[in-house]
A = this chain, B = another copy of it.
Amino acid sequence: MTEEEGKGNSGKDPGTLKRIKLVVSYEGTNYCGWQVQPNGITIEEVLNRTLSELLGEQIQVIGASRTDAGVHSLGNVAAFDTESRIPPEKICYALNQRLPEDIVVQSSCQVPGNFHPRRCYSEKTYEYRILNRKIPIPTLRRDTYFYYRNLDLLKMQRAAAYLEGEHDFKSFCSVRTSVEDTVRKILSCTVEREAQDKIIIRVTGTGFLYNMVRIIAGTLISVGAGERTPESIGEILEKRDRSQAGPTAPAHGLTMIGIQYRDSDILFL
């Protein structure tokens, strides 16, 4: 299975092909993001190479969330087709033996042949982690964005509430993309304090635009720092203009938490 109509399956027998779904966790620090690209190593590339070696056939995965360079994951999803007779549930263990320690497959299972990580209905959850104190903590530097100025949690929570529901998120989409329909649905957007000095923004939605969660995080931080009011979020949405929202928060604070698929949609696509 490749991005489009299975051109990577050339030479494989459709009768014995199984579609496998992987749940993939990684620390993004040392990768140029998910998607294969010419100028650096990516998660997708390492998975393709390691799966191909393990299964003895050419494998090309399709990822659900094509995370940016530096973004981490607990539960990204990838799928591929294979003729292998290794029991699907065992593939993850064999794979983890060969993967580098910053990529770990949490589970593997067979799914119906019409399952597609991006085209099937799904609810994706992301977390943006902020360390809000005067001096950084070394052990948190790779997956938590250090922010010096004091953040007002209540204001951030009030601002987050404006983002929930179906909206045109054009103001929260990188201009480096040409997507036309910028309406998306955020099922929940919460801001919580963890321990004394960590603030966690958690966003669940049915689809996200390019850089959307990082722009949401940057805008909520800007509200928390007192640069904007919580109420301004409504206006920012209305204006449909990227320059109205806050900055794109750094990639390393973002973690793809997990993806829920509705089994019924997969079976009857």
Contacts and interface: CB of A to CB of B under 8 A. Distances in A.
B102 A135 contact: no
A104 interface: yes
A139 B106 CA distance: 13
Nearest to A99: B138
A72 interface: yes
A25 B101 contact: no
A125 B135 CA distance: 20
A138 B106 contact: no
A135 B96 CA distance: 9
B72 A139 contact: yes
A141 interface: yes
Contacts of A137: 25, 74, 104
B138 A102 contact: yes
A135 to B, nearest CB: 5
A104 to B, nearest CB: 5
Interface residues of A, number: 23
A104 B135 contact: yes
Contacts of A138: 25-27, 72, 101-104
Contacts of A139: 25, 27, 72, 74, 142-143, 255
A104 B72 contact: no
A100 B103 CA distance: 26
Contacts of A107: 135
A136 interface: yes
A28 B27 CA distance: 18
A132 to B, nearest CB: 15
Interface in A94-114: 96, 101-107
Nearest to A93: B135
Interface string A134-175: 011111011100000000000000000000000000000000
A102 to B, nearest CB: 5
A232 to B, nearest CB: 33
19 contacts: A25-B138, A25-B139, A26-B138, A27-B139, A27-B141, A72-B138, A74-B137, A74-B139, A96-B135, A101-B138, A101-B141, A102-B138, A102-B141, A104-B137, A105-B135, A106-B135, A107-B135, A139-B142, A139-B255
Given A25-B139, A106-B135, A139-B142, 8 more contacts: A25-B137, A92-B135, A102-B141, A103-B138, A104-B135, A104-B137, A105-B135, A107-B135
